[in-house]
């Protein structure tokens, strides 16, 4: 069993780079970062403390030099040796080898069970660590031996604060290095503005496409992300838009709503409540035939048919596949939108994007924009997976809280890029102003 990177240490410093430099000087490339958080450092009796970071890291086993790391081996590691001895004992039925095993000092206070559990846990941690090092290279911080230009260091920090993934940060740094000479790097403001432009270009906006009515719009996605609310918002936006157009003699669009969500108590009542305020009714379709019939009956009279679906955990692949069957079985041409909330963590988002793929979604809708402060993770994953965004929503109110995505909204929410009014108007000019016009 390998003990590579088995223990987690902590180091504090002014910033991530300082921690990394200290570790590089001590251990070369024999360490790997696990995470970091802001903390207060220095000072005396709580006075004069400064903001800094605490970084956690693991060491390669050959490097687990406890004196250098400034910490003694913990009780935990001696317990692990003892637990390993016990596993040997159980495997070999050889009590002598167990007793001779390094670190074994007799059966401690805990029971055999608890030690065996510790041993199992150790095994699991080791497997996990291996998986992290091998498979999730995108997320694990790789040590860098060469020192970087200060502009690059500070841009990296800003991107990390905005929770962009390491893969995305690396790609931006790569672009900076290709684009700017060392002299040009000293004009940090210019480099930063270029970075904002690149991020803006990476945000893919779903473009309008003409679909012959009826437009069948299906919202799918995990439970509680706001699918039902978003359907109400879209229906309200269509109604509002139609009101504006009324003066121009446009016919008022006919909207239908059908829900396949029979699993959640109150789900139908919730959408019925919104629908009633817009003088709309809601039907329920619990199987492909009913949905197919509903769509056929309404195909000539409706302009828009919204299909509200049950939310499933992204891990519940079976239910998602079932839903795909229901929708595909209906035999109608539909636009599926994958809905998730702006606070979704990058790794969870990757799983959602992957597991809902069976529904053949056209683009994504991002909800609860009002509840999150960092959107870097979402931008990174969507860019990496080449997914476009149709709408963002930002509030529990149904009116005026949905808009076509424009990169400007994302860019303005980034922190640390010090965008002044003049620069923001440039962003608006470049990427289009926010608007509430509806796309579907």
Ligand X SMILES: Nc1nc2c(ncn2[C@@H]2O[C@H](COP(=O)(O)OP(=O)(O)O)[C@@H](O)[C@H]2O)c(=O)[nH]1
Query: At 293, which helix (H) or strand (E)?
Result: helix 288-298
Q: Rule CB under 5 A: say whether 341 interacts with Mg ion.
A: no
Residue 268 contact partner, candidates Mg ion, ligand X, none, CB within 5 to 8 A by sort of partner: none
Instruction: For ligand X, give the closer residue by CB, 225 or 258.
Output: 225
Q: Rule CB under 6 A: say whether 367 interacts with ligand X.
A: yes
Q: Rule CB under 6 A: say whether 313 interacts with ligand X.
A: no
Residue from 174, 245, 357, 370 binding ligand X (CB under 6 A) = 370
Residue 368 contact partner, candidates Mg ion, ligand X, none, CB within 5 to 8 A by sort of partner: ligand X
Instruction: For ligand X, give the closer residue by CB, 209 or 435.
Output: 435
- Burial letters 229-259, b for 16+ CB under 10 A, else e: bbbbbbbbbbbeebeeeeeeeeeebebbbbb
Q: How many angstroms separate the CA atoms of 208 and 438, rounded? A: 9
Q: Rule CB under 6 A: say whether 343 interacts with ligand X.
A: no
| Residue facing Mg ion at closest CB distance | 228
CA distance to 127, 129, 130, 254, 307, per residue, from 2 (Å)? 9, 10, 9, 65, 52
| Residue facing ligand X at closest CB distance | 226
Q: Rule CB under 6 A: say whether 229 interacts with ligand X.
A: yes
Residue 321's contacts (CB-CB under 8 Å, 6 or more residues apart) are 358
Among 6-14, 26-34, 220-228, 235-243, the segment contacting ligand X (CB under 6 A): 220-228
Find the shortest distance in angstroms from Cβ 244 to Mg ion: 29
Among 100-108, 199-207, 222-230, 340-348, the segment contacting Mg ion (CB under 5 A): 222-230
Among 69-77, 143-151, 221-229, 374-382, the segment contacting Mg ion (CB under 5 A): 221-229
Q: Rule CB under 6 A: say whether 325 interacts with ligand X.
A: no
Q: Rule CB under 6 A: say whether 51 interacts with ligand X.
A: no
Q: Rule CB under 5 A: say whether 339 interacts with Mg ion.
A: no
Q: Rule CB under 6 A: say whether 368 interacts with ligand X.
A: yes
Cis peptide before 214 (omega within 30 of 0): yes
Q: How many angstroms separate the CA atoms of 168 and 108, rounded? A: 48
Residue from 118, 151, 158, 228 binding ligand X (CB under 6 A) = 228
288 near 330, Cβ under 8 Å?
A: yes
Q: Rule CB under 6 A: say whether 227 interacts with ligand X.
A: yes
- Burial letters 17-32, b for 16+ CB under 10 A, else e: bbbbeebbebbeebbb
Q: How many angstroms separate the CA atoms of 252 and 120, rounded? A: 65
Q: Rule CB under 6 A: say whether 371 interacts with ligand X.
A: yes
- Burial letters 106-117, b for 16+ CB under 10 A, else e: eeeeeeeeebee
CA distance to 87, 88, 95, 112, 243, per residue, from 92 (Å)? 8, 6, 8, 16, 80
Instruction: For Mg ion, give the closer residue by CB, 64 or 228.
Output: 228
Residue 376 contact partner, candidates Mg ion, ligand X, none, CB within 5 to 8 A by sort of partner: none
Find the shortest distance in angstroms from Cβ 403 to ligand X: 11
Find the shortest distance in angstroms from Cβ 240 to ligand X: 17
Considering only CA atoms, give the Rg of the chain: 28
Q: How many angstroms separate the CA atoms of 263 and 227, rounded? A: 15
Binding mask 380-419 for ligand X (x = CB under 6 A): -------------xxxx-----------------------
Q: How many angstroms separate the CA atoms of 39 and 155, rounded? A: 20
Size (the chain), residues? 440
Q: Rule CB under 5 A: say whether 228 interacts with Mg ion.
A: yes
Per CB under 5 A, residues contacting Mg ion are 227-228
Per CB under 6 A, residues contacting ligand X are 223-229, 270, 311, 367-368, 370-371, 393-396
């Amino acid at each position: 069993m390998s003990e590579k990177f088995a223990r987690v240490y902590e180091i504090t410093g002014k910033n991530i780079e300082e921690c990394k430099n200290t570790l590089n000087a001590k251990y070369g490339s024999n360490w790997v970062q696990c995470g970091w958080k802001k903390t207060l450092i220095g000072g005396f009796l709580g006075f004069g403390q400064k903001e800094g970071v605490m970084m956690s890291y693991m060491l390669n086993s050959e490097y687990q030099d406890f004196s250098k790391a400034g910490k003694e081996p913990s009780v935990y590691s001696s317990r692990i040796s003892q637990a390993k001895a016990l596993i040997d004992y159980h495997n070999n039925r050889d009590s002598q080898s167990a007793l001779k095993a390094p670190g074994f000092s007799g059966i401690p206070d805990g029971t055999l069970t608890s030690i065996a559990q510790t041993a199992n846990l150790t095994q699991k941690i080791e497997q996990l660590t291996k998986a992290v090092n091998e498979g999730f290279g995108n997320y694990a911080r790789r040590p860098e031996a060469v020192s970087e230009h200060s502009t690059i260091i500070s841009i990296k920090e800003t991107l990390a604060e905005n929770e962009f993934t390491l893969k995305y940060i690396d790609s931006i740094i790569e672009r900076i290095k290709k684009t700017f000479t060392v002299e040009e790097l000293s004009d940090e403001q210019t480099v930063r503005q270029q970075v904002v432009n690149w991020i803006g270009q990476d945000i893919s906006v779903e473009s309008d496409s003409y679909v012959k009515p009826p437009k069948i719009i299906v919202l799918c996605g995990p439970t509680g992300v706001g699918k039902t609310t978003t359907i109400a918002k879209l229906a309200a936006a269509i109604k509002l838009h139609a009101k504006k157009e009324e003066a121009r003699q446009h016919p008022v669009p006919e909207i239908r709503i059908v829900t396949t969500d029979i699993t959640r108590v109150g789900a139908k009542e919730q959408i019925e409540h919104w629908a009633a305020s817009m003088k709309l009714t809601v039907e329920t379709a619990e199987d492909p035939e009913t949905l197919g019939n509903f769509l056929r009956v309404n195909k000539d009279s409706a302009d828009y048919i919204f299909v509200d679906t049950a939310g499933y955990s992204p891990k519940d692949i079976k239910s998602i596949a079932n839903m795909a069957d229901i929708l595909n079985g209906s035999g109608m041409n539909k636009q599926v939108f994958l809905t998730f909330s702006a606070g979704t963590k990058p790794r969870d988002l990757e799983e959602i994007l992957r597991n809902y793929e069976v529904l053949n979604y056209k683009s994504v809708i991002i909800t609860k924009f009002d509840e999150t402060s960092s959107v870097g993770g979402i931008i990174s994953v969507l860019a990496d997976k080449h997914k476009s965004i149709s709408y963002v929503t930002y509030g529990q109110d149904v009116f005026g809280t949905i808009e076509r995505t424009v990169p400007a909204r994302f860019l303005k929410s980034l922190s640390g890029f010090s965008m002044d009014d003049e620069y923001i108007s440039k962003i608006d000019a470049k990427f289009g102003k926010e608007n509430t016009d509806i796309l579907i």
